[in-house]
Structure 1
Amino acid sequence: MDEVRKVAPVESARYVAHLPFTAGDLSSALIFARTLVRSLAFLDELDGGEATVTYEDEQDVHHRVFCSQLVANGRRCERRPDHEGSCQPRGGLRS
């Protein structure tokens, strides 16, 4: 039987996963990214409020997917950037 090894706790570091995809235009790319983040919102490790989209050949120009202002209970606003009206959490982007 294999020996179980105890590993010392390690402080978590933040990483960014780059996941290329195709879309017809920036608006469609942002919709895709919003849908992807919301479908993965159950993962505590995901900070969807920080999601951005870039053109493949312009990766230094980031387009925010969500407003991401902090609102009640440590949640982030899930409305689009530059939205009208007040910020509000709609489903649970974590800070």
Structure 2
Amino acid sequence: MVDRYVVHVPFTAPDPDAARQAARMLARTLGRLPEVDQAEATVSVEDDQTVQSRLFCDRLLGAGRRCALRAEHEVPCASLELDR
């Protein structure tokens, strides 16, 4: 088994929604690398990293597929192709 690591890269955003949007964009961009598990991406406030907000739904949909929409979406889950 290969060890997993987490990269903490601070950035600024005007509010939590903007922070989640920027973090989703970064996760999708880095998700093109096979080593990156974008479905497990989270974001937190720099001074409270123990409270992390999930960025993607990641609900199991069957046939090995997962929902790729943002966390807490209000539409039915969709197994969108994640850039890999």
TM-score (norm 2): 0.84
What is the CA-CA distance between 1:89 and the residue it aligns to?
Answer: 2.2
Name the % identity.
Answer: 46
Matched, 1:85 2:71: no
Moved >4 Å (runs of 4+): none
What is the CA-CA distance between 1:13 and the residue it aligns to?
Answer: 0.9
Change (3 A) 1:27 1:84: same
Change (3 A) 1:93 1:51: farther
Change (3 A) 1:75 1:17: farther
Change (3 A) 1:77 1:93: farther
CA distance in 2, matches of 1:45, 1:74: 18
Structure 1 unaligned spans of 5+ = 1-10
Q: Deviations over 1:8-46 (max 9, x none)?
A: xxx411111111111111100101011111112221111
Matched, 1:21 2:11: yes
Structure 2 unaligned spans of 5+ = none
Structure (1/2) with the larger strand percentage: 2
Amino acid at match of 1:34: R
Aligned length: 84
Matched, 1:66 2:56: yes
Contact 1:52 1:62 in 2 (8 A): yes
Matched, 1:57 2:47: yes
Which protein has the larger Cα radius of gyration, Structure 1 or Structure 2?
Answer: 1
TM-score (norm 1): 0.75
The aligned residue for residue 30 of structure 1 is: 20
Q: CA RMSD in A?
A: 1.9
